[in-house]
């Protein structure tokens, strides 16, 4: 925090991190996750983003570079996509999030344009806290694993 009390937001270049040994990546007040094309996170098992803005394609590049990423915790994250804009005001966009290795997924007050589709075939624990007006679909494989915990907390009542 600066001496004036304001919060600063930083761009981070993930290529500058110790990618071969990193196990936990915990970022607050960041934007523009920009992984280098050759960056791999072979041991990353936990990703936590708080108060961040993330391009969905960049987030997926990080997830794809982390084959053992088991825990994903997104809190107050604004998810944007390059393809979400249209001159047709009636278009409803769907944000597709995929977490192929995640067994624990926490989404707290995350914001997207339109609905969310969440694909997490190994998921065992799912926590969602957010606006009930924003629809989401949790897409499971044909034979889903044993879901052990689902915690849903909707912050606005249905009308």
- Count of Cβ atoms closer than 10 Å to residue 79 Cβ: 21
Count the Cβ atoms, other than its own, within 10 Å of residue 134: 17
**Residue 135 CB coordination number (10 Å):** 12
Residue for token pair 């196990």: 23
Q: Give 28-46 pLDDT, tens digit per residue.
A: 988 877 766 667 889 999 9
- Digit-coded pLDDT (tens) for 114-158: 778 889 999 999 998 987 666 777 776 666 567 888 888 877 655
Mean pLDDT of the chain: 79
Q: State residue 23's pLDDT score.
A: 93
């Amino acid at each position: 925090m600066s001496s004036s009390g304001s919060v600063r937001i930083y761009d981070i270049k993930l290529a500058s991190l110790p990618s071969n040994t990193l196990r936990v990546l915990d970022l607050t007040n960041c934007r523009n996750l920009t992984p280098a094309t050759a960056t791999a996170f072979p041991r990353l098992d936990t990703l936590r983003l708080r108060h961040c803005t993330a391009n969905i394609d960049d987030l997926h590049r990080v997830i794809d570079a982390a084959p053992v990423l088991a825990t994903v915790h997104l809190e107050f994250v604004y998810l944007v996509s390059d393809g979400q804009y249209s001159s047709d005001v009636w278009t409803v966009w769907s944000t597709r999030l995929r977490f192929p290795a995640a067994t624990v997924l926490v989404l707290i007050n995350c914001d997207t344009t339109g609905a969310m589709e969440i694909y997490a075939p190994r998921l065992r624990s799912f926590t969602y806290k957010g606006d009930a007006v924003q629809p989401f679909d949790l897409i499971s494989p044909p034979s889903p694993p044993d879901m052990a915990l689902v915690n849903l907390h909707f912050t606005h009542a249905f009308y």
